[in-house]
Amino acid sequence: MERLHSRVLVQWSAGALVTAAVVAVVAGAITFVDPLSLSLPPIAVAGAVFGVVFVLGVAYAWLRYRSWRYEVRTNTLYIERGVLTRVETIVPYVRVQHVDSQRGPLDRLLGLGTVVVYTAGSRGADVSIPGLAAERATTLQERLRDLAIESEPTDAV
């Protein structure tokens, strides 16, 4: 079983930072308009909301990071993840249609990458593994591609 690269925590925490900022601005604006006439200081409320949301976000990112596992098995790709709902997915290589690797701006900055495995399924047709070290993302993509070709399905659908 492999884990994600720990730098993904930075990435997810950055996401939490953005969410916290947005929520804080909204909370501040509501306090400023003061529809319930509570006359609270908007800046302090915004700050407190930001702090709470950010801490929760980082905690969630940490739990999420801890829950992630994946394994390249002989015939299948095994993925395990989820904080509140734990999901263990198995993708047989025979069913893989194509494999993507994606690197967003933040990914590139942190030297991370995401591998996405596509199947012809209906729900959860694409399975992605985020937060891989850049070179690991490349090797994983190539390995999965080779395994998919090697296992030769008669008909992908």
Partner 1 sequence: MKLHPLTVVYRVGRRAVSLGWGVVVGFAGASSIPFVDRRLVVAALALAVLALVGYEVARYQRFTYALAGTTLELRSGVLSRREREIPIERVQNVDVSRTVGQRVIGLATVRVETAGGGNTEAVLECVSAAAADDLQTELRRLKRAAADAGDIESGDDVRAGGKASATTDATGETSEVVFGLGRRRLLLASALSFDVRLLSVVFVAQPVVQPLLAPLVGDLAGVTTVVALLVAVLTAVGLWLASAARTFARYYGFRLVRAGDDLRYERGLGRRYTGTIPLEKLQTLAVEETALERAFGYASLSVVTAGSVGSDTTGGSAAAVPLATRADVLALARDLEPFADATMERPPTRARTRYAIRYALGVAVLLALTMAVDALLTPVPYAWAPAVLLVLAPIAAHLQWRNVGVALTNDYAVVRRGFWTRRTRVLPHDRVQTTAVSATFFQRRRGLASVAIDTAGGDAVAPDYDAARAREIRDRVVERACAAVGARRGADDSH
Residues lying near partner 1 in the complex (CB under 8 A) are found at 73-76, 82, 84-95, 119-125, 127, 150-154, 157
Ramachandran region, residue 124 (left: φ > 0; alpha: ψ -120 to 50; beta: rest): left
Nearer to partner 1, 138 or 151 (CB): 151
Residue of 70, 75, 87, 74 whose CA lies nearest to 124 = 87
Residue 107 Cβ, how far from partner 1 at the closest point, in Å?
25
Nearer to partner 1, 133 or 148 (CB): 148
Cα gap 34→144, rounded to integer Å: 55
Nearer to partner 1, 52 or 90 (CB): 90
- Residue type for position 14: A
Residue 60 Cβ, how far from partner 1 at the closest point, in Å?
13
